[in-house]
Structure formats: C-alpha cells, structure tokens
Chain A
C-alpha cells in the first residue's frame, strides 16, 4: 500500500534537514533526486545519518540502506512505506508499544 502523502512529506522534510546539516548547507540547496554522495555524504556521514534515522523513526536499519537508496526521494519513500506498514501491523495487533 502506498504511504500517505503527509507522512511522506514529513519524512522527506526531515531527511532534507538532516542531509543539509551534514552537507553543511541550507535545506533549500538539497535536491531530493540527487545522490547523497554528491553532497559529500560519503561513508563517514552514512553512519551518522543511519543512526539519526534509526533513532528518529525507531527503526533498526543498517547503513547499507543509504548505499542502496541513494537519494532523499528514494529513502523517504522507503521509510514512509515502512512506517505505514508498522502502523497497520500495530493497529491489527491492537498493540500500543509493540509496532509503534
């Protein structure tokens, strides 16, 4: 199921701000279709960004995710989809914390 648009917007906006932070530029300068590596987000920042994503969305992810989904756009799509899936699973199980 496709992620809801507001959620996708929210995830993308957050990612743009993090990428701009590491790239040391303004958020307006980040093009979501340009590979992160071109903003100088080489291996060093991959690990930092991965940790940020894991903490912010409470997801267990590996840094290789950022190597495979190389742009803000693809990363945001993936994360939003995962978040929707988790919310639906949580609703099904009636869990409050489990798949939050």
Chain B
C-alpha cells in the first residue's frame, strides 16, 4: 500500500549504483543473504531472536553462528595475514549490515576483537600479528583490556601495571569494563610499564587465555548495562600474573602512541557502523506510519510526519557522508586523521541519537514498548547510546580536537588545496597502511580547503549557494575565534564558548564532506553526485545545528518533502537509506 500522496519522482541519483568493492572472499551481499530478512518472524536470526536475546541480556547464539559461518572475524584481519581487511569502506559496510540488525552482535562478536587487534596490526611483530590473525580467523575472540573506572578515556593515567622482571613481565591491577573477557581466547592489555607523568610509560600486551599456572586472575561480577545489553561487561583483577617478555606489543613506552594511531581506524568505523541503527529506525518509523491512519487520513499525510521522516533520512546521509570521507582519508591523508577521526566520533553519534529521538515522536508509544512489531526501535535506540561515550567519549574527542584548532585556523583553512579523491565515495583505494598512521599535529585541513574552494566557485542565490556561503562564513568566524584561544581554553577546563568552537568546527567539516561528494563525485560513480536536493537538505540540517537562518520556511519544507518522498521510494524498493542505496533483504 502506498499511503503517501502525489507522484513519486525518481531522482537521477537513485538509479545509480556504487561499484562492488574489490576484496577477497564473500562480501556484504553474502552476509546480508546469510542473515536474511530481519523482519521475517520465522528468521532464526531476525528481530524476534535479537529482541529475545536482549531481554535475556545475552548474545544471540543463532546470530553468532551465522557470523562465524560467514567468517565475520576475517573482516578484521588484513589481507596480508589471510583475512579480508584492506579498505575502510568495506569494513564499514559489513559492520553496518550487522548493526542494522543487532549492534550487540556486531560489537560483542566482532568489533571488540578488532579494537584489540588493531594494536597488533599497527605495532606488533610478525609473530604477534599472526597469532592474533590465527585466532580471529578461527572465530576466536580477543578482548581489549583498557578501561579503568578511575581514568575512563585518559590512557596516560592508567594504573594497571606491568613490571619487568628481567625475563618477562608481572601484571598487577584491576580493569573494570572488559567486553566478554570470560569467553575471550586472548587479551590485549593496556598497562603502565613505569611510574611517572607523560605519555611514554605504557604498553599493550598480547596475552593468551589466562592459565592458573601463571598467577591469579579473578573475574569480577558483570556490570549490567542498558544499551548493548547482550554484550557482557566484566571486570578482571590480576595478581602477580606472569607473562613472557615478548608479550609487549611494539617498543617499551609506545602504548599511548599505538593507541592514538590505531584507534583512528576503530573510531572512524564505529559511527559509520552506527548508521545501520538509524537505517532500521527510519524503516521502522516508515512501516509504522504507512500502516496507520490519523485524524481521519493517512498518517503519512501529516506534514509533521513527512518532515520528520525527511529530516531523519537527511541526517543519515550526513553521517554517512562524514564517516565515508573520514574513512577514505585514513587511506589518502593519514596525516590529517588524528583530528578528523575524532571529529567524526564527536559529532556523528549525536546526530544519529537526535534523529532517533525525533523519530520516536512519530512512533509514539511504540518507541517505548519492548514487545510487538516495532519493539526493535526501542532496543536500537538504547544500543546507540554507547557510540557516544564508548571508545573515546565526546569529551575525549573534544580534548583531541581543541588544541589543534588555533594552528589549523592560522595556517590551513584558507591556504589549502582540496583533494578530490577524498570525495569519490566507493571509488578506488589502495589498501590501508597501518604504518602510515601518525599521532599527528596536522598542518593541513583538506576538508576546510575543499569547502572554501567550492564556495568560491559556487556562489549563487540558490539555497545551496547560500548555504555553502554560510559555512564558509562560519569558517571565517571560527578562524577569528580560534587564533585568539588562550592556553586555558585548550585544556579540559576550557570555557563553554571554547567547547562550542569544536561543535561548530565539526559541523563545518560535515558540511564540507557533503558538498565535496556533490561537487567532486561527478564522473566518479558516486551515486549522489548529480543531485542537488540531498546536499542542500544536508547543509540545511547542519545549519540548523549551527543556528542562524539561511533558507526560507518554504524552502526547508520543500527539501524535507523531497527527502520524504525519496525515503518512501527507497522503502518501497527495499534499499538502504545510506549513500550506497544497496538493495537488502528486509
């Protein structure tokens, strides 16, 4: 049934397809097929199963079995080590395929092992790298052992200690939140290797499953959680636990550096994966309103409903654009991703959460119920929350970005050159080089350079021209403020105004990504390149967060209406709402 009124015009970009990514082995299509239609009540790995597992606060065994058969863990192992990881875009697409069904499954049975493994890929020796690869390729788990309640994301204050005793190391201390440590076959433990201030006193240790002979490991009671409820968060306490000297990953004192380099990958991947949550959230809301009648008419005739759907679809594309470009930057401009990965991790989860919150107003009571056809919405909204505080909180990301802004403002924003390949979403990429990742104080900012460049070439009275100008003007304002930031404004006790600078900067970056895809993607197979509607809507949405008025009420309403119709079209066609628009089962 089609509840919306008026003809649906297919946008030119809706008929285009991205080229299939070149990667070894089965890919996202096979994974989608293996997991099947999540809405099908008889699917053993559908929403019925994932909701039931969530109620039990367990991982879905059926889901885990399917991921193992597909070889999900191979997606996290570099091609050179026998796996399938070479490109960030493929990784994100595969993660999103799981995230739109059950993020617990994706995190607990996949990404969390990757968070542990990236240290080995980045800084490990060949035997550590093959040991981790062999575990993952055999569908085993490796737990990342980082979190201490007293220090949260501040790695350089970690207390858990590794003391060298000549031949090896002695581990002592307590880690409070470790993903599924009891089921893990190995751990990557972050520990302090010597006392003192500074960032050269830590290391990661690759530690196979603890055995009683080596000393004492006491598992602490599980910490129950509200989101990602199926993912066990345990604690572990080590007492004089002996590990051999070769357990240390990289050189002594390299731990913080390794984390800062390698986590750029995982921090970029997580927001991209979380787009899958909003995809299902939007699909759920669309199914609901298209089946409902309100106030004597179809629910989809209500202007509010149409606007909210259109806005959520736009927000999804904004986040996908931002995370897709950041993912490409890890290949093409690793010198800039020290800031960019944090910027995506800072902004994207918040945009997704806000979109889910607004969609919940359309679903009404059904956004709250844990039973029935639409119950998956409530679970997914809960599962989304950790994307904002987990694996680098919003605060931690802000602390990474802020000290770099005065210099970027001084030298980079208005003096750079754009790199068009950055925006060829789905286009060729050389395999990601772990050795290319740097802790980085970037001296260039290619996204701002692209924004300045495009806004200069595309001045105009159209809404898009005005919006592009608006973001360029915002960058001018930001420059004036950033060069004036005093040292106290760069630290953790920065003023609220300094904090707001980070928010505004990330909004400018997101706008630059959308504009860049539209401007540079043409002729490079990018599905959205030839369409002005989505990019205008995207900038309009981002400008809403920035404040200030650029479009008229009628223009905004028109954009929301167009995006609503596109969303309905995709819903009818059974296609993802992301930049790929890929056909999916359910």
Chain A interface (Cβ < 8 Å from any Cβ of B): 21-24, 35, 37-38, 42-48, 50-52, 54-55, 62-64, 67-68, 70
Contact = CB atoms under 8 A, between A and B. Distances in A.
Interface stretch (B41-49, B105-113, B415-423, B488-496): B488-496
B407 interface: yes
A3 to B, nearest CB: 24
Interface string B187-214: 0000000001111100000000000000
Nearest to B201: A67
B490 A45 contact: yes
B296 interface: no
B503 to A, nearest CB: 18
Given A54-B443, A67-B199, A45 B257 contact: no
A24 B199 contact: no
B257 A24 contact: no
Interface string B399-415: 11011101100110000
A68 to B, nearest CB: 7
B487 interface: yes
Nearest to B198: A37
Given A63-B440, A67-B257, A21 B487 contact: yes
B85 to A, nearest CB: 25
Contact of A45 (B410, B439, B487): B487
Interface in B368-416: 399-400, 402-404, 406-407, 410-411
Contact of B403 (A21, A37, A45, A64): A45
B198 A64 contact: no
B488 A24 contact: yes
Given A22-B487, A45-B490, A63-B440, A55 B199 contact: no
Given A43-B156, A44-B399, A44-B492, A55 B198 contact: no
Nearest to B438: A62
A49 to B, nearest CB: 9
B443 A51 contact: yes
B487 A47 contact: no
A51 B257 contact: no
Contacts of A70: 198, 200
Contact of B198 (A21, A35, A50, A52): A35
B20 to A, nearest CB: 37
A48 B403 contact: yes
9 contacts: A43-B256, A45-B491, A47-B404, A48-B404, A51-B441, A55-B411, A64-B439, A67-B199, A70-B198
Contact of A37 (B197, B257, B402): B197
B487 A63 contact: no
A67 B406 contact: no
Nearest to A51: B407
Contacts of B406: 48, 51
B393 to A, nearest CB: 15
Counting chain B CB atoms within 10 Å of each CB, the highest count among A37, A44, A54 belongs to A44
B555 to A, nearest CB: 40
B200 A67 contact: yes
A22 B400 CA distance: 16
A59 to B, nearest CB: 11
Nearest to A61: B441
Given A63-B440, A63-B441, A44 B198 contact: no
Given A47-B441, A63-B439, A67-B253, 12 more contacts: A44-B399, A44-B492, A47-B404, A48-B404, A48-B407, A51-B407, A54-B443, A55-B407, A62-B441, A64-B257, A67-B198, A68-B200
Contact of B490 (A44, A55, A63, A67): A44
Majority-rule SS of A interface residues: helix
Nearest to B411: A55
A42 B403 contact: no
B490 A48 contact: yes
Given A21-B487, A63-B440, A63-B441, A38 B403 contact: no
B403 A44 contact: yes
B443 A38 contact: no
Interface in B407-462: 407, 410-411, 438-441, 443
Q: Please give me the 7 A-B residue pairs with the lowest Cβ-Cβ distance, nearest first.
A: A37-B197, A51-B407, A50-B441, A37-B198, A51-B441, A48-B403, A47-B403
Contacts of A44: 399, 402-403, 490-492
Nearest to A52: B407
B293 to A, nearest CB: 56
Interface in B461-492: 487-488, 490-492
Contacts of B410: 55
Contacts of B253: 67
Counting chain A CB atoms within 10 Å of each CB, the highest count among B399, B403, B443 belongs to B403
A62 B439 contact: yes
Given A24-B487, A63-B439, A42 B407 contact: no
A50 B441 CA distance: 7
B543 to A, nearest CB: 29
Contacts of A37: 196-198
A42 B257 contact: no
Contacts of A55: 407, 410-411, 443
Contacts of B197: 35, 37-38, 42
A60 to B, nearest CB: 8
Contacts of A50: 441
A57 to B, nearest CB: 13
Contacts of B488: 24
Contact of A46 (B199, B443, B487): B199
Counting chain B CB atoms within 10 Å of each CB, the highest count among A43, A47, A52 belongs to A47
Contacts of A54: 441, 443
Nearest to B410: A55
A37 B198 CA distance: 6
Nearest to B486: A24
B190 to A, nearest CB: 15
A69 to B, nearest CB: 10
Contacts of A42: 156, 197-198
Contacts of A48: 403-404, 406-407, 441, 487, 490
